[in-house]
Amino acid sequence: MKNIKGALVPFSALKYLGKKPHTVRYPFEKKKTAERYRGFHFNEIEVCIGCGTCSTICQNEAIDMIKIEGVEPGRGDSGLRPRIDNGRCCWCGLCVDMCPTGSLSLTDQYLHTSPDPDSYLLIPGVDNPEMKENISFTKSDTEPLLQFDRVPMRELDGAERVKSFAEVVLGYMQEEARAEATRCVDCGLCVTACPDHMHIPEYIGAIAEADDAKALKYIYDNNPLPEMCGKVCTRQCETVCAIGHLGEPIAIRWLKRYATEQFPDPAAILNPKIAEPNGKKVGIVGGGPAGLSAGYYLALRGFDVNIYEALPRMGGMTFAGIPKYRFPLDSLDKQIDYMKKVGVKMHNNVRVGKDITFDKIRNDNDAVFIGIGFHVPYTLGLTGEDLENSIQAIDFLRRVNIGETVDVGKKVVVIGGGNVAIDAARVSRRLGAEVTILYRRRVEDMPADWEEIEGAEDEGVHIVPQGIPLEIIGENGKVKSIKYGMAEMVPDDKGGRPRPKLIEGDEHILEVDTVIGAIGQEADYSFLPKEIMDELKIERGRVVVNELKQTSIPDIFAGGDNVNRTMDAISAIADGVRAVEGISHYLLDE
């Protein structure tokens, strides 16, 4: 052989004969995997919400969402949990990166062989609780796949706002709405929290697809006042949004608002199919969201519907209570006009019990719906409450909304911590007053929406937490000042939330022109004749109804604030929608 070197050098390999190999060990030792290893799944069952995003993203279709014993569906939880088919999984870990709660992870465990195909089906977290110790590949905070930040909403600046009743929130532009809608993972968990169970993922999906008309159809399928909800809804849905677990929830309310604002006349898009008249008549007492919703869908189904409303306009508290900078009149009118087109007959300035008797309405109709809301304010129970300029928030707001001139003077104190209190405070600011809110507990305990509280503060409303009003002091029959004491928070003996307890001697006096009470309201049933009152089951001020909003008197249905405890527009709408089922069922045996 000519190439002597080339023939000899390979023998240098002999030097490795005694060396320990890198890869395989005898006897077998399981390799310790790297910290990020992507092995079998583990799922924190309590943290998982059953949104199914993992299942949707898995391109191998390795994940099934299944019912699991011991996991109950509920608000914000579908009750389902993922099960992995390890015969299909490729351990890409996309499911982990997409899991909006971070409950899903991959472990450093990777060995499994069995002739039994069923053994490859793994319910992570249920079948392998011990692997919690082996979690290795987890969701990254710094390289997210989901978008956790909301597209910011443009608003008028605080200083600008107090100058008028112009709408504060400006609404999304088309591009903004698309971007926000794109964040949604379509799980539908929001639907569990919406009192009306609106078709949320569907309309958000349509907005993301740039099909606003389709979005509107989904929206109107079970909510005839969506523009109102788009502006003022309490949005329970957003509290359970899957994205909200690690980020900011999808701006569901603003997206609904966006979709409705795109079309000046919903009729043109919806083209509603109105059923032939079915010969049945329904009378509705109260033109708030509950009454209107019932009226709209009843009319679509061919009922002859008449709504009687005491106030000069329809809308109930959303007209008389909610200030115009949150819900402008033309937006309300647009929605009411559309309902009229569908054939709902509306009678303003008709107070049942005064302008027309309840019995007449009941006799003229085959069924009656009561949606009168809560319009009688609770009093504070303080000395000096009957002084001039000691007023009630809902009366005050109603007068402002109807267009009366109300003089609150230069200094106003509002008592209460709910949305009504905040509304009264912000309206007073717009009337030019300096405003203080007196609230018994801490700011974080305020039942008002945090955005509303922030909005009030931006506008210069001063909040005094843990302040308990003691007495309204007058001069010449008019309010002059208010005395209040400071409180400390003490644990509740019964295990409830901490209670405020007056601190002896820590009392203050605030000079004011007007005191506005905003501590709640109740219903006025005085329009109902005695026989009805005797028969109608009312508990703690609320009419008792069944699933389909039927009262203890079969032809009388009820809904809204005077029925439900959630006391917001969407609950009233939901009640109205359910009552339509109830009334149809009752009158048409459907």
Ligand X SMILES: Cc1cc2nc3c(=O)[nH]c(=O)nc-3n(C[C@H](O)[C@H](O)[C@H](O)COP(=O)(O)OP(=O)(O)OC[C@H]3O[C@@H](n4cnc5c(N)ncnc54)[C@H](O)[C@@H]3O)c2cc1C
Binding ligand SF4 by CB under 6 A: which of 40, 71, 83, 99? 99
39 binds ligand SF4 per the rule CB under 6 A: no
Q: From the CB of residue 361, how many other CB atoms can be counted at a distance below 10 Å?
A: 20
Whole-number minimum distance, CB 511 to other proteins, in Å? 53
255 binds ligand SF4 per the rule CB under 6 A: no
Selection from 346, 327, 212 nearest residue 286 by Cα: 346
Rounded to 5 degrees, what are φ and ψ at 541? 85, 0
Whole-number minimum distance, CB 313 to other proteins, in Å? 31
125 binds ligand SF4 per the rule CB under 6 A: no
Binding piece for other proteins, criterion CB under 8 A, among 13-21, 122-130, 500-508, 560-568: 13-21
Selection from 266, 321, 316 nearest residue 295 by Cα: 316
Nearer to ligand SF4, 25 or 88 (CB): 88
50 binds ligand SF4 per the rule CB under 6 A: yes
Nearer to ligand X, 201 or 321 (CB): 321
- Distance, CA of 155 to CA of 230 (rounded, Å): 15
Beta strand pairing call for 121-122 and 80-85: antiparallel
Binding piece for other proteins, criterion CB under 8 A, among 197-205, 278-286, 344-352, 355-363: 197-205
Binding other proteins by CB under 8 A: which of 145, 402, 533, 544? 145
Left (φ > 0), alpha (ψ -120 to 50) or beta: where does 29 sit? beta
185 binds other proteins per the rule CB under 8 A: yes
Binding other proteins by CB under 8 A: which of 44, 86, 102, 121? 121
232 binds ligand SF4 per the rule CB under 6 A: no
Whole-number minimum distance, CB 419 to ligand SF4, in Å? 32
Binding ligand X by CB under 6 A: which of 162, 185, 215, 290? 290
Whole-number minimum distance, CB 256 to ligand SF4, in Å? 24
Binding other proteins by CB under 8 A: which of 44, 45, 79, 128? 79
Q: How many residues of this chain interact with ligand X, rule: CB under 6 A? A: 39
Binding piece for other proteins, criterion CB under 8 A, among 90-98, 370-378, 440-448, 482-490: 90-98
Binding piece for other proteins, criterion CB under 8 A, among 74-82, 279-287, 314-322, 428-436: 74-82
Binding ligand X by CB under 6 A: which of 76, 289, 343, 377? 289
217 binds other proteins per the rule CB under 8 A: yes
- Paired tokens of 565: 């405890």
3-state DSSP of 355-407: CECHHHHHHHCCEEEECCCCCEECCCCCCCCCCECEEEHHHHHHHHHHCCCCC
Whole-number minimum distance, CB 484 to ligand X, in Å? 23
Helices (H), 470-544: 530-535
Q: Report the alpha-carbon angle 239-522-196, nearest 5.
A: 35
Binding other proteins by CB under 8 A: which of 29, 69, 143, 444? 143
Q: What is the DSSP annotation of 98-127?
A: H-SSS-EEEES------S-GGGGEE-TTTT
- Distance, CA of 191 to CA of 59 (rounded, Å): 26
106 binds other proteins per the rule CB under 8 A: yes
Binding other proteins by CB under 8 A: which of 98, 229, 344, 448? 98
Return the one option of ligand X, other proteins, ligand SF4, none that residue 183 interacts with (CB less than 5 to 8 A, by type): other proteins
Per the DSSP assignment, residues forming a β-bridge with 460 are none
Q: Report the alpha-carbon angle 549-554-555, nearest 5.
A: 90
Q: From the CB of residue 99, how many other CB atoms can be counted at a distance below 10 Å?
A: 29
Asked whether the beta carbons of 325 and 430 are under 8 A apart, the reply is yes
Return the one option of ligand X, ligand SF4, other proteins, none that residue 147 interacts with (CB less than 5 to 8 A, by type): other proteins
286 binds ligand X per the rule CB under 6 A: yes
Return the one option of other proteins, ligand X, ligand SF4, none that residue 448 interacts with (CB less than 5 to 8 A, by type): none
Return the amino acid letter for 242.
A
**Taking CB under 6 A as the rule, which mask of x and - marks residues 526-565 in contact with ligand X?**
-x--------------------------------xx----
170 binds ligand SF4 per the rule CB under 6 A: no
Nearer to ligand X, 102 or 520 (CB): 520
What Cα–Cα distance (Å) separates residue 371 from each residue in 36, 96, 139, 336, 340?
A: 59, 48, 49, 17, 18
Whole-number minimum distance, CB 94 to ligand SF4, in Å? 4
Give the list of residues 6+ apart from residue 85 with CB closer than 8 angstroms, or none.
62, 63, 64, 120, 121
64 binds other proteins per the rule CB under 8 A: yes
453 binds ligand X per the rule CB under 6 A: no
Beta strand pairing call for 542-543 and 345-347: unpaired
Return the one option of ligand SF4, other proteins, ligand X, none that residue 567 interacts with (CB less than 5 to 8 A, by type): ligand X
- Distance, CA of 450 to CA of 441 (rounded, Å): 15
Rounded to 5 degrees, what are φ and ψ at 172? -75, 150
Binding piece for other proteins, criterion CB under 8 A, among 93-101, 257-265, 284-292, 370-378: 93-101
Asked whether the beta carbons of 41 and 106 are under 8 A apart, the reply is yes
- Distance, CA of 77 to CA of 409 (rounded, Å): 50
Binding ligand X by CB under 6 A: which of 171, 353, 460, 474? 353
Whole-number minimum distance, CB 127 to other proteins, in Å? 14
In terms of C-beta density within 10 A (0-12 exposed, 13-18 middle, 19 or more buried), how is residue 308 classed?
buried
Secondary structure of residue 535 in the 3-state scheme = helix
Nearer to other proteins, 128 or 147 (CB): 147
- Distance, CA of 420 to CA of 375 (rounded, Å): 12
Contact set for ligand X, span 373-432 (CB under 6 A): 373, 375, 394, 397, 419-420, 423
Whole-number minimum distance, CB 355 to ligand SF4, in Å? 55
Q: Do you find a cis peptide bond into 27, omega within 30 degrees of 0?
A: yes
In terms of C-beta density within 10 A (0-12 exposed, 13-18 middle, 19 or more buried), how is residue 171 classed?
middle
Give residues in contact with ligand X (CB under 6 A): 232-234, 285-291, 308-311, 316-318, 321-322, 351-353, 371-373, 375, 394, 397, 419-420, 423, 527, 560-561, 567-570, 572
